[in-house]
Amino acid sequence: MHLVGSIEPIPGVPLQSIFYPTAYPDEHDPTVGLVSSERQTLTALAAGFTKYLEYDPDAKLSIVAHADPRGGPKYNEALAGRRADSVRQFLVAQGISADKIDASSVGAEKLLDPQTISELEGQNPNPLPQDRAARPQTTQLAYQRRVDIVMNPTNAESTKFYPNNSPDSQVLWQRPKPPLSEVQGDK
């Protein structure tokens, strides 16, 4: 099966995009925003990548952070930058050397189009809950609030499947900025 926007995955390195709640991390606390399920995803990535480095010590990760289009360009660029920094810092804390991670942000410049999101949802092994299917615009916004990961030199890209079945997917999916207590609820 071909995954939209993906190159053949690397065995043992689970490359999955990381999703964020609306407007997180914010300027006041840039360390808040990675919910439990996304931290688990990054922990698995770090473990797999560390093992992969034994096979290919020149491998690197590129992190590209995105924002949904609701903020202005300056706001979205800063927000995406905080997301890139958050993922990078988490991976470094998991033992990956900082020189193995390149981070960048594109804000809302490279949005996924509705057709691509529809294709992703059609291929997603964790289907969209029915109560969310009636709100496709909210789903489209949720797909934009992500950090994609590319493994170099293979150019393997993270799958962009939204984590519909994760316990904290509602916090990630909702359209307005969720309260801090909901985002930190799992700490």
Looking at residue 2, its pLDDT comes to 44
pLDDT (0 to 100) of residue 29 = 86
Residues 42 and 94 sit within 8 Å (Cβ to Cβ): yes
Name beta bridge partners: 19: 146
Does residue 1 fall inside a structural domain?
Answer: no
Q: Which pLDDT does position 6 carry in this prediction?
A: 47
CB 68 within 8 A of CB 24: no
3-state DSSP call for residue 66?
strand
Give the model's pLDDT for residue 50.
95
Would you say residue 66 lies in a domain?
yes
The reply to whether 67 falls in a domain is yes
Quick: pLDDT tens for 36-82. 999 999 999 999 999 999 999 999 999 999 999 999 999 999 999 99
How do strand 146-152 and strand 60-66 relate by DSSP bridges? antiparallel
Cα(41)–Cα(39) distance, rounded to whole angstroms?
Answer: 5
- Is residue 26 domain-resident? yes
Residue 80 has a CB neighbour count (10 Å cut-off) of 26
The answer as to whether 82 is a domain residue is yes
Give the residue ranges of DSSP H helices in 5-163. Answer: 36-55, 73-93, 114-123, 130-133, 136-144
Q: What's the CATH code of the domain at 136? A: 3.30.1330.60
* Amino acid 184: pLDDT: 83
Contact 100, 61 (CB under 8 A): yes
The residue ranges of the chain whose pLDDT is under 50 are: 1-2, 5-7
Q: How many domains is the chain built from?
A: 1
Q: What is the pLDDT at residue 30?
A: 85
What pLDDT score does 1 carry?
Answer: 42
Domain span at 110: 18-172
